[in-house]
Amino acid sequence: MNLKKLKDIEEEFLTFYPTGFEDAKFFPTMKKFNPSKLEEFTKENLKKENFSNPNLVVDAFFKIIQKSVLISLFDKLKFRDMLESLTSYEKDMLSIELYELLHGNIKNGFDGLVDFLKQYNLAKWTIISVILYYNDRQKEYFVKPTTTKNVIKYFEIKDLVYKPTPSFEFYNAYKKMLNEMKKNVHKSLSPDNAAFTGFLRIGMED
């Protein structure tokens, strides 16, 4: 990782926004984004005890995707069409993968969800990572393909190779790298993990 580039964009960002994402200039953007409400919804509706009712879980998954500003309209429509086509058995299977992802073996859940969504051409980084992110905004990351590829290239991260098909191995390695980067900048730049990758995106563009 090129630490100098990271420190350079930190200095530039804090020159324009001295208090990071708490800066008044950022209020309109952050208000529109407002991820805390969706995090609250995700934690409440995808808690362990709710998984005894797969229909409830799948409906909550649908609502999270539909409400999120991080997911494209095209993917929201495709996701809606997929859910409308699912049988009760398929909803059970989807619910099991989500349970593993959030409350069981995260690797098994991640890989299982990828395999399930592949059938509908919806095995996308955005859809899979957005659930992890909203379930724990301080620990997990939303993976946006363009930003991710740019981070790897701009900061000269040699041992990470981005691929369009999501994999837990890449997610885990990328997450460790981002956590390391976070440690090297001011805490005002990471009120949550999507804000931190947003800071990286803005810094790279500038």
| Structural domain boundaries in the chain | 3-33+141-205, 36-135
Q: How far apart are CA 50 and CA 32, in angstroms?
A: 29
Q: What is the pLDDT of residue 24?
A: 61
The predicted structure's pLDDT at residue 16: 85
pLDDT of residue 160: 93
Gap between the terminal Cα atoms of the chain:
19
Q: Phi/psi of residue 146, each to 5°?
A: -60, -50
For the stretch 65-83, what's the b/e string if a residue is b when 16 or more beta carbons lie within 10 angstroms of its beta carbon?
A: beebebbeeebbebbeebb
Distance CA 198, CA 205 (A): 11
Q: 10 Å Cβ neighbour count for 118?
A: 12
User: pLDDT at position 28, please?
Assistant: 52
The pLDDT of residue 30 is 52
**Sequence letter at residue 126:** T
Mean pLDDT by runs of 10 across the 206 residues of the chain is 94 87 62 78 95 95 94 95 95 96 97 96 96 95 95 94 96 96 92 91 86
- Determine the pLDDT at residue 205: 84
Q: What is the pLDDT of residue 21?
A: 79
pLDDT at 36: 87
Q: What is the pLDDT of residue 26?
A: 59
